[in-house]
Chains A and B, each alone.
Chain A
């Protein structure tokens, strides 16, 4: 089973260091004459200080750098909470169709009916999966979606004349870290509430806050422990009773899609992460997309434009007196919408539901496989991810979660999310996703077991890991304490 990473890696200096005066990568005609009428004081005769390299030199530079990287195309990527599932290539093929790439957002509606239809159908699909009346496709990622949903709540509260008093948004300690920030940005006041020993919210802990100051509650469901908030329906009813709204952080929707429609359990607004649940590119390869669903009552507050179907054609409607305004130029990250819609059409209803089941099954397989190797802090059933702790490991060896994570790189695996959520000491948060095969899961389990074994028998090795990667162990502390943010030949040792 040992699959140490070996490759064709080359040392590679920064591109600036490779520049050779006179090397050029493209043939441009002399454009000086085109700018003859520009006043002399605005001219820069020297030109910009760009790197001078040929096309092949540039290609080799970036291809070499890419080989130092891990990617979902190379191996498992169990980064908890991030849902690093494989992104099918058909998504890319569809997003590159000329009908989508050669349309300008300001073209006449009649000339972009296909794009508008796609947006309309994607909205309908997301509504069908969640139970919401309307969905805006504009927000550019999860946190932008949170901001949008909370802005909608803020406007609804202001319209009731309670803007000055209803300020409190409850946030459990199992929520995503961006939630409190989104609350503050909307002028609300975040108030933390603790989950109990079962790792989920109870009506009891929110009861003291059910009053005229409550604007709402923001619940990540399933939460960051991978546990379903089974009391959410009851809590939502109580929050509504007190005059507040329920925001659900839907970043983990991939665990319940097809099983729960959030609108039906009392959620008023929720964001989807297309770059998680719907298999669009992620992180540095983004951009992301965070559509927001709302109930019928809140639909009038959504950002404009919204796509409407009139008879057999599609239109952008800008007129809405109650809208919170615009959040993104034009219509959101459109190319991402094409990829997400492709995923939905490829899998179909049955396939999407199956993806949910497989994501949960895989995560439970990981949990079972490692339950005697690392500590589980909660007994409750978990869904799409599982959070372990290094409690025993730390006691019995000199190694921690961070050491195990680094060592995984030597086996060609991306580490899980570490030290999050904060309520678990030395958290080691695994989300395998549904796209990993049983053999992939077994390899991850065996690797973690082997590393924990090494922590006992050869802690030195684990402390120095990774040793098989292109770049070895980085000194994170030195990097954080002595920040060098700009490259110069002198500051690169």
Chain B
């Protein structure tokens, strides 16, 4: 069974959003399918992004994959550690491997995201 972190909100395209910290990352399910991550391309602090827009790309030895923003808002932090250590995304997708943090604009968007239980179900359907 895929490791799914409680308390986070998930998208169908396997991104997670942490409502308390504003952090965005990709799920363990996504990481398993990508394989070893070798490069992460992220927006700059201050960029305005909308829900569903491409916020960056995660490149693995197998493929390059777009990451879509779970919510709309302004980028307030970027995980600088990933530039030198992209493996953090593999090793710790929900903690040290976070991608960016945003200041969410509209809390109602959270309703469109899945909780961990429904995300678990979504993953088993995709397996």
Closest residue of A by beta carbon distance from B61: A476
Give Cα distance in the complex from A476 to B63, angstroms: 13
- Binary CB contact string for chain A from 469 to 483 against chain B (1 if under 8 A, 0 otherwise): 000000011001100
A477 / chain B contacts, CB cutoff of 8 Å: 36, 38, 61, 87
Chain B neighbourhood of A422, CB < 8 A = 63
Cβ of A207 to closest chain B Cβ, rounded Å? 23
Q: Is the CB of B63 within 8 A of A480?
A: no
Contact B61 A480 (CB under 8 A): yes
The dominant DSSP class at the B interface is loop
A299 on the B face (CB < 8 A):
no
Max chain B C-beta neighbours (<10 A), residue from A422, A425, A476, A477? A477
**B62–A480 touching, CB < 8 Å:** no
Interface SS of chain A: helix
Tell me how far the C-beta of A261 lies from the nearest C-beta in chain B, rounded to whole angstroms: 36
A481 touches B62 (CB 8 A): no
Residues of B within 8 A of A418 (CB): 62
User: How many contacts between A and B, using CB within 8 angstroms?
Assistant: 21
Chain A neighbourhood of B70, CB < 8 A: none
- Binary interface profile of B, 19-59, with partner A (CB < 8 Å = 1, else 0)? 00000000000000101101100000000000000000001
Contact pick for A402, options B38, B59, B62, CB 8 Å: B62
Check if B38 sits within 8 Å of A481, measured CB to CB: yes
Interface size in chain A (residues, C-beta < 8 A): 9
Q: Who on chain A is nearest to B59 by CB?
A: A480
The answer to whether A419 has its CB under 8 Å from any CB of chain B is yes
Quote the shortest CB–CB distance from A287 to chain B (angstroms). Answer: 26
**Cross-chain contact B62 with A419 (CB below 8 angstroms):** yes
B39 and A425 contacting across the interface, CB-CB below 8 Å: no
Chain B positions within 8 Å of A481 at CB level: 38, 86-87
What is the CB-to-nearest-CB distance from B36 to chain A, in angstroms, rounded to a whole number? 4
- Name which of B33, B39, B62 has the most chain A CB atoms within 10 A of its CB: B62
Chain A nearest CB: distance from B123 CB in Å? 13
List the A side residues contacting B61 at CB < 8 Å.
476-477, 480
Question: Which residues from chain A contact B33 at a C-beta distance below 8 Å?
Answer: 425
B13 to chain A minimum Cβ distance, whole angstroms, is 13
For chain A, residues 407 to 445, give those with C-beta under 8 angstroms from any C-beta of chain B. 418-419, 422, 425
In the bound assembly, the distance between CA atoms of A190 and B107 in angstroms comes to 32
Which of chain B's residues has its CB closest to A419's CB?
A: B62
**From residue A249, how far is it (CB to closest CB) to chain B in Å?**
20
A477 to B90 CA separation, bound complex (whole angstroms): 12
B63 proximity list for chain A (CB < 8 A): 419, 422
Give Cα distance in the complex from A319 to B62, angstroms. 47
Q: B81-108, CB under 8 A of A: which get 1 and which 0?
A: 0000011000000000000000000000
Task: For the complex, give the distance between the alpha carbons of A425 and B123 in Å.
Answer: 14
Interface positions of B (Cβ within 8 A of A): 33, 35-36, 38-39, 59, 61-63, 86-87
21 example contacts (A-B, Cβ-Cβ < 8 A) are as follows A402-B35, A402-B62, A418-B62, A419-B62, A419-B63, A422-B63, A425-B33, A476-B36, A476-B61, A477-B36, A477-B38, A477-B61, A477-B87, A480-B36, A480-B38, A480-B39, A480-B59, A480-B61, A481-B38, A481-B86, A481-B87
**Which 4 pairs of residues, A with B, have the shortest CB-CB distance?**
A480-B38, A477-B36, A476-B61, A419-B62
Could you tell me which A residues sit within 8 Å of B by CB distance? 402, 418-419, 422, 425, 476-477, 480-481
**Known contacts A418-B62, A477-B61, A481-B38; can you find 5 more A-B pairs with CB under 8 A?**
A419-B63, A422-B63, A476-B36, A477-B36, A481-B87
